[in-house]
DNA sequence: TTGCTGTCCGGCTTATATCC
DNA sequence: GGATATAAGCCGGACAGCAA
C-alpha cells in the first residue's frame, strides 16, 4: 500500500466521481480507476459501491477514509514536529475564536514580536470548532463554550458580565440597569444558533420566562455592532467586547435581574495532537494577555 | 453523450543474481 | 563489498468497449 494510492483514494472518496477526481489529481481517469482497483484488491474488500457509472463510498470505504485522513494528519504533524526540532519551521498557527473583539490587539501584539509566524483564524459554531479541534485542524481555540473532553485541555481565562446594548434613541437608553423580563418584547440582534454565546443568552432569557425575539442572526460579532448602531434591535454583549467597542455602543445596561448573567472565556487545545513551538508560544501569549487584562 | 472498466504498452523503480 | 544486468511489478496514458 502506497501513500500515492491513499492520496488518490482520499480524493475519489471526497468527490465520489472518478473523472472529477482524476482531473483534480492531474492524471488520466483510467489510471486512477486502476489504482483504486489495486488498492481495493490489496485490502481485500471493495471500498466503493458501483451502480452503473456512479460510484459511492461504502461502509468499508467510510471506515477506511477516517483512517487515511488520520494518517495524513499524523504525517503533517510529524513534519511540523521535525521542522520545529530542526529549527526550520518559521511557525504557523491555526486559531479558532468565538470572540473577535480582542483579536486585533492580540494578533497585532503577537505578530509584532513574532513577525515570521503565519496565523490562520476561523470563526465557527461550537460543534464545528470541537470537530476541528478533535481532528487536529486547529491548534488553539478561544471560546466562550466549555469545550471539554478527555483529549481536550480547557483553561478558563476570564469570567465577565453580559451587558445589554441599546441604541441611543431606545426607550431604555440612559438607564444603568434592566431586568431581563423587561426585554421580552424587544427585537434582538445576535449570533445565529450554534454559537455558544447565543445558546447561553437564549437560556438566560428562557430562564427569565420568555424566548428572545432574535430578528437578525449573524456569524460575525462585529456585524452585530454595526446593526446596533443602525438601531435595528438590541443585543447581548460580553463586557470585554463592549469595552473594546465602547465608543460605538455607549448605551450599555447591566442586567439587574436575574443576577449572575456572566460568561466565561477560555482557551482550548488538544492534548493528543502535536502543537508547534509557535503555537505553544502563542498559547502562553494569550494566557499572559488575559492575566494582564484581569490585573488592569 | 457521458463515465467507468479493461487491455495494451512504454517507462520507471525495486529486488535479485552475477561478475569483478 | 560494490557495480552491473536482468526480471518483476507498478504507474500512467491511449484506446476500446460497455452501460446508463
Task: Pick out the nucleotide with least CA–C1' distance to A1.
Answer: C10
Q: Is the CB of A31 under 7 A from strand C?
A: yes
Domains in chain A, CATH or no CATH each? 3-81 (1.10.10.10), 83-157+264-295 (3.40.190.10), 158-262 (3.40.190.10)
Bridge partners for A158 per DSSP: A265
Say which residue the cell 472529477 belongs to.
A20
- A42 burial class (0-12, 13-18, 19+ CB within 10 angstroms)? exposed
How far apart CA A22 and CA A36 sit, in angstroms, is 11
CB-proximal positions of chain C, under 7 Å: 10-16, 19-20
| Closest residue, by C-alpha, to the C1' of C15 | A30
pLDDT at position A206: 93
- This prediction has a pTM of 0.69
Grid cell in block for residue A273: 495532537
pLDDT of residue A227: 86
Asked if residue A34 keeps its beta carbon closer than 7 A to nucleic acid strand C, the reply is yes
Q: Which nucleotide is nearest to A26 (CA to C1')?
A: C12
Q: A42-58: per-residue pLDDT in tens?
A: 676 777 776 655 677 77
Is the confidence at residue A89, as pLDDT, over 80?
no
Highest mean pLDDT among A71-85, A135-149, A245-259, A276-290 belongs to A276-290
> How would residue A2 be classed by pLDDT, with cut points 50, 70 and 90?
low
Q: Shortest CA–C1' contact from A22: which nucleotide? A: C12
Instruction: Quickly give A1 CA vs B16 C1' distance in Å.
Output: 22
Query: Per mean pLDDT, which range of A25-29, A240-244, A261-265 is the poorest?
Result: A25-29
Predicted pLDDT of residue A204 = 92
Beta strands in A181-280 (DSSP E): 187-191, 213-218, 235-238, 252-257, 262-270
Lowest mean pLDDT: which of A22-36, A63-77, A90-104? A22-36
Residue A273 makes CB contacts below 8 A (sequence gap 6+) with A73, A77, A136
Average pLDDT of chain A is 83
The separation, in Å, between residue A91 CA and nucleotide C1 C1' comes to 45
Q: What is the mean pLDDT of residues A265-288?
A: 89
Tens-digit pLDDT profile for residues A213-227? 999 998 877 778 788
Phi, psi of A231 (to 5 degrees): 75, 30
Give the single-character DSSP code of A183: G
Amino acid at each position: 500500500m502506497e501513500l500515492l494510492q491513499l492520496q488518490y483514494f482520499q480524493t475519489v472518496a471526497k468527490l465520489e466521481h472518478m473523472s472529477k477526481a482524476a482531473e483534480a489529481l492531474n492524471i488520466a481517469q483510467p489510471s486512477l480507476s486502476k489504482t483504486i482497483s489495486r488498492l481495493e484488491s490489496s485490502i481485500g474488500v471493495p471500498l466503493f459501491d458501483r451502480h452503473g457509472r456512479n460510484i459511492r463510498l461504502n461502509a468499508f470505504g467510510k471506515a477506511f477514509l477516517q483512517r487515511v485522513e488520520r494518517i495524513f494528519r499524523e504525517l503533517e504533524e510529524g513534519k511540523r514536529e521535525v521542522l520545529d526540532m530542526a529549527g526550520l519551521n518559521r511557525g504557523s498557527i491555526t486559531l479558532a475564536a468565538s470572540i473577535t473583539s480582542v483579536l486585533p490587539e492580540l494578533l497585532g501584539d503577537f505578530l509584532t514580536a513574532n513577525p515570521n509566524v503565519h496565523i490562520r483564524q476561523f470563526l465557527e459554531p461550537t460543534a464545528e470548532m470541537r470537530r476541528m479541534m478533535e481532528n487536529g485542524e486547529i491548534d488553539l481555540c478561544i471560546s466562550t463554550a466549555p469545550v471539554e473532553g478527555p483529549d481536550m485541555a480547557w483553561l478558563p481565562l476570564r469570567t465577565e458580565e453580559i451587558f445589554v446594548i441599546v441604541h441611543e434613541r431606545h426607550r431604555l437608553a440612559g438607564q444603568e440597569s434592566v431586568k431581563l423580563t423587561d426585554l421580552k418584547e424587544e427585537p434582538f440582534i445576535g449570533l445565529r444558533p450554534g454559537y455558544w454565546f447565543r445558546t447561553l443568552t437564549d437560556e438566560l432569557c428562557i430562564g427569565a420566562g420568555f424566548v428572545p425575539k432574535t430578528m437578525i442572526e449573524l456569524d460575525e460579532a462585529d456585524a452585530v455592532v454595526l446593526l446596533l448602531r443602525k438601531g435595528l434591535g438590541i443585543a447581548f454583549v460580553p463586557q470585554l467586547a463592549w469595552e473594546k467597542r465602547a465608543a460605538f455602543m455607549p448605551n450599555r445596561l447591566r442586567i439587574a435581574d436575574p443576577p449572575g448573567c456572566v460568561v466565561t472565556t477560555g482557551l482550548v487545545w488538544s492534548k493528543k495532537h502535536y502543537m508547534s513551538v509557535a503555537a505553544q508560544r502563542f498559547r502562553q501569549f494569550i494566557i499572559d494577555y488575559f492575566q494582564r487584562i484581569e490585573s488592569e
